[in-house]
Copies of this chain bind each other. A is one copy, B any other.
Amino acid sequence: MVNIAILGFGTVGSGVAEVMRENAQSIAHNAAEEIGVKYILDLRDFPGSPFADWMIRDFGLIESDPDVQVVVETIGGVGAAYEFTKRALLAGKSVVTSNKELVATHGHELLEIAKRLNVNYLFEASVGGGIPIIRPITQCLTANELDEIYGILNGTTNYILTRMITDGAPFADILKDAQRLGYAEADPTADVEGYDAARKICILADLCFGKSVDPEKISVEGISRVTLEDIEYARRLGYKIKLLGRAYRLPGGHITAYVAPHLISKTSLLSNVDGVMNGIVVHGNALGECMFYGAGAGKRPTASAVVADVIDAVKHRKARKYLGWDESEPGYLVDAGDVRTRWYVRTGSGLSDIGRAFGDVRLISYPGEYPGAGPGEYAFATPELTGRELAAKCAGMEVRSRFRIL
C-alpha cells in the first residue's frame, strides 16, 4: 500500500481523487500495488464532499509523514505550488503535477532537486491534458533526432476559432459564449493571448531539444486580432486559422519557439482538430511525422494523465526515471521574428503600394459576403520572409492582419 497526498482540491485535484476512487482496482493492478489517498490539502471547506475525511490545511503534516510517498500538486501557479513542490521533493517524496506554469518556469531546478534526491518529478498532465505526449517524447521517440514540434495546445482558443469558422460570428461574441459554457474563464487573458500555449510549447521544446526555454522570452501572439475576414480569406486559399505553439531546430544548434495564429492547410490532419480538442505534431529524422490527439484539458482527462504519473512514480520508487534538460546558453533561443516563414497579409493599402513592396503577388479573391472586407482591401501570401523583413516591407502600408502560413 502506497499513500499519496493531493495538494489543491480544484478541478484537477478533485478529478484525481475521483479517478483514484473509481478505478482503484485497475490502478492497483497496473501499479502492482494498492494506492490510497491519505491527505487532501486545501484552504477551503468542502462540506459534504465524499473526500472530507482526508482534508487538511497544514502542508507540514504531509511533508513530515514518511507514509506519503507521492505528492500530487494541482494547486497551479508558481507561489505555494513552487514552495510545496520543493519541500516535498526535499523530503524525499516524488511529485506529480499538471502545473504547466511551474514546470515551464522552474522545471529545470525542480528536476535537478528530484535527481539529487533520487525521486521523480513527473508532469505528463502539464501539456495536452490527457493526451500522452511527455512520455512518448521521452521514451518512444528516443531513437530520433527531433527536428520540430508544434500543435494546437490550448482548447479555449481552438474552440473559439472553430466556432468563428462554423458560426461566422466574430471573436468577441464567441468568447462570451465560451465563457457562458465554461470553456473560457472569466479572465480569459492567459488562454486568449497565448500565454497558456506558450508555457506548453516551452515544456515541449525543453524535452525535445534538451535545453531550457523561458516562456517569458518567446514571442507570443493570441487570437484576439483574428477576424472573420481573415478566416474567409484563409478558407479561399484552402486553409484554416489555428493558434499554434511551435518550436524547431535551426542551424548551428539554435532553436526558435513561439505562439501565433497560423494558416494551416485543410489537407493536414491538424487542421481537422476542432473544438476544445488538442493535437500535437512531432517530427523526427527516423520516424517522420506523428500526431497525438485528444482532450487537452478538463477534469477527468487531466486526472487521467496525473494518475498515470502517480502509478509510474509508484513503480519507479527504486529506479528513478530520467527526465530533464540542461540550462540554455545565451543565443540558444532565436527570436521568432528573425526566422523566415511565408505570411498571409491583409491590407487596406492599394495595389501600387503592394506591388512596390511585394512585387506581383497573387491576390486572394474578395469575399464579398463579409461586410468589413470592402473594396480597397486586399489579401495575399508572401514568399518566405522574417517578421522584421515583413515589417520593413510593410512600412507605410495599412496592415490589417498578418499571420504565418505553416
Chain A contact residues, CB within 8 Å of chain B:
15, 19, 22-23, 26-27, 29-32, 124, 130-132, 135-136, 139-145, 210, 269, 272-273, 284-295, 298, 300-301, 303-308, 310-312, 315-316, 318-319, 322
Contact = CB atoms under 8 A, between A and B. Distances in A.
B269 A288 contact: no
A322 B32 contact: yes
A291 B269 CA distance: 11
A349 B224 CA distance: 57
How many copies, total? Answer: 2
Q: 5 shortest A-B CB distances, which residue pairs? A: A290-B294, A143-B307, A132-B140, A286-B304, A30-B142
Nearest to A316: B319
A307 B287 CA distance: 11
Contacts of A312: 139, 142
Contact of A145 (B26, B269, B322): B26
B285 A23 contact: yes
Contacts of A15: 286
A135 B130 contact: no
Given A27-B143, A136-B136, A130 B293 contact: no
B288 A23 contact: no
Contacts of A289: 294-295
A337 to B, nearest CB: 29
A132 to B, nearest CB: 3
A318 B310 CA distance: 21
Nearest to A143: B307
Contacts of A288: 130, 294-295, 298, 300-301
Contacts of A284: 304
A300 B286 contact: yes
Contact of A286 (B135, B307, B310): B307
Contacts of A135: 135-136, 139-140
Contacts of A301: 286-288
A130 B290 contact: yes
Contact of A141 (B32, B132, B139, B272): B132
A39 B288 CA distance: 27
A286 B302 CA distance: 8
Contacts of A305: 140, 143, 287
Contacts of A322: 32, 315
Given A136-B135, A139-B312, A290 B286 contact: no
Given A26-B145, A135-B140, A291-B293, 12 more contacts: A19-B286, A22-B285, A26-B142, A26-B144, A27-B143, A143-B303, A286-B304, A287-B304, A288-B300, A290-B292, A290-B294, A291-B294
Nearest to A271: B272
A290 B291 CA distance: 11
Residue of A285, A293, A306, A315 with most chain B CB atoms under a 10 A cut-off: A293
A222 B113 CA distance: 54
A298 to B, nearest CB: 8
A282 to B, nearest CB: 9
Contact of A319 (B26, B130, B145, B318): B318
Contact of A273 (B145, B269, B295): B269
